[in-house]
Structure 1
Amino acid sequence: MRKILIFEPNPYHFETLPGLCYYFNQLGYEIDCLVQKHDNYGDEFCKASQLKNKINYTFYDKESILESIKDITNKSEYEFVVLNSFDYGKDGKIHSIYNDIKDIAKSRYGVLGFYHSLSSYYDNKETDVQLLNEGRIFSLSPVKQDDFSFPMVNSNFFKDNEEVAKHKNNRTIITIGTSNDDNDLRKAAAIVKDKTKMPTIIFVGYKTKKELFIAQIKRIIAAIISKIVKSYSTNKKPYPHFMLAFKKNMKLYNKVSFDTMYDLIDSSDFIALNLKQSHLYEFSTCRTTGSKQLALGFSKPCIIEENCANYYGFSSENSIIYKNGHLDDAIQRACLMTDEEYNRMQEAMHALLLRSREESMNNLKMILTDIGCPDNA
């Protein structure tokens, strides 16, 4: 059987490994994975045991990264070394792992892999020039610029059983990662007009509750000072408005293991991609948040800003889209949605998942064929 090595040089990005393994398994490859030890994250295959049983895992220590890939590729005959990501930290700086392994990692057809953002291209285009010229690099969302492009291979496989679960209760909204604006989401959820339909908001991957509470106290103090200053200028008595950092319907989790995160997503109705303004342009033009893969893989409709929705291929059929910062309106629509409306939206997201996989598989086959690897039809 044909054999490949999937290599992750970082202590993160593990969530894209099952999807990458899924595609190569579908193409009939035997798969080895070489990854750093990451007990604190748990098992990224926790809901995909059937696929995991087909994968040979080898763990390495950070200090022995180059020795490990040299050793494993000398012991086995691989058709490819597939990089799950290119950037990695070395001596306090970001480097291209390809530049360090190209002469020591042996395989029949060479190296290919993921760019997770355009910064990888701009940081590594000189060291990765051969791979770029030969079309060996793909990305989580399609990238098209004037002088280069990367086809999409979206890694969105997380669980063996992908039956779409339907919910019949007050809406639960989950937001994952510190690129999202927790303050805006809390405000939007707090002003839902029909209090009997208040959503449950789950925050995953944020700071600790204590740190967030302190941050909220600082915001309140700043708001009081602002109101006092304004009151002196208008001769009006200030009546500062106080809002608790977290209400009863808001649940906060710090960094969690994969099994906990996936259970929380399964129990939710929507994934909110309410990106901070400072991140919005980057994530709507050249970088893909992991929440895109999670929304597709778990068939969960998104609550997402218009520009990001367009870039990620989401539409009003499968997501609630807002613009001009009107997240409050999007939360209101989510809470007032009927079960029938929600189920149709979820089924549309699942249909998008299947189309995304088909496109990704076709793109991967084309890459392999173009660089001379036979029998990928």
Structure 2
Amino acid sequence: MSVSVQPMPADPIHEGAAPGAEVLRPHAEDAFAGELAALAARDERPRPPRWKLSPWAVATYLLGGTLADGTVISPKYVGPRRIVEVAVATLATDRALLLLGVPGTAKTWVSEHLAAAVSGDSTLLVQGTAGTPEEAIRYGWDYARLLAHGPSRDALVPSPVMRAMAEGRTARVEELTRIPADVQDALITVLSEKTLPIPELGEEVQAVRGFTLIATANDRDRGVNDLSSALRRRFNTVVLPLPESAEAEVAIVARRVDQIGRALDLPAGTDGLAEIRRVVTVFRELRDGVTSDGRTRLKSPSGTLSTAEAISVVTGGLALAAHFGDGVLRAGDIAAGLLGAVVRDPAADRVVWQEYLETVVRERDDWHDFYRACREVTG
């Protein structure tokens, strides 16, 4: 016997928000509602069951482009087109998608936008941590009703995965490898049989057409729990690489900083493009262990120095420039954030950073202001 899962009521927090109140970080389907609507209106290609857009339109939404009527779709992901096409094609089958990569390669960002474009809803989310219980993937119970009346449909609390199965939508599991291995394996039956048993009721939830699952994972952070071979076989894995070139990474950082800055009413980041290039150069050189000209070998710090961290450093610098400067991003605004990103281990990383400053940054003729600012905060 299968059990139906009723749609959840509207979020009371958002329902009670003051009229005109602005959400600090809108979901992708809300922030880019205009683009999604424009794509849907002009999308004449076949759509899989319950998809809001065709696979072609989903890929266009992520990669950007210009529609026949001149509508511009902004790129959400800057990288190889084939990666996005493989990810979207996977979701159009009955396979789950695993987005794999080092921290900061936009796995969560891509996952959210894929869910928004496919289902129109990116909120069916399980956030993986070392303490994520099995109930977060399967289901839980309303214990007041459970104690009063015993196991029943009314007492059952569906997980985001169960809701996605019952409603034919996209579920997301973030940081899958942070979830304990025995909890991870709760997904095996869901992904192989497309069924979630409820033995307490002698029933099950069967996935309806349109159900997809996107997971993200990395193998660089501490606290990683390797996926079992049985679970890994249930996924098509797509590896998201770091940006291939410095120019591509600069473009990504500049675009995201501009988006975040506008949301926070900070000055436009274009005035600070030179500083963005410096941050990206520092991150890439220390990450790769060699200067951009290939002449000097470098020690790498313990941190990942990801594109996401570069975005954070520049955004913090813009806030300093806006509130304590003249609004123009300069070396002194990013120095402290850069130090915090590089020096995670106070002993070993500080040595790496100081050596980099003295052997590389100091010798660059047009980086003297940057060198002074970094030396000032490094001490």
What TM-score, normalized to structure 1? 0.31
Greater strand proportion:
1
What TM-score, normalized to structure 2? 0.31
Q: Which has the higher contact order (CA 8 A, sep 6+)?
A: 1
Greater helix proportion:
2
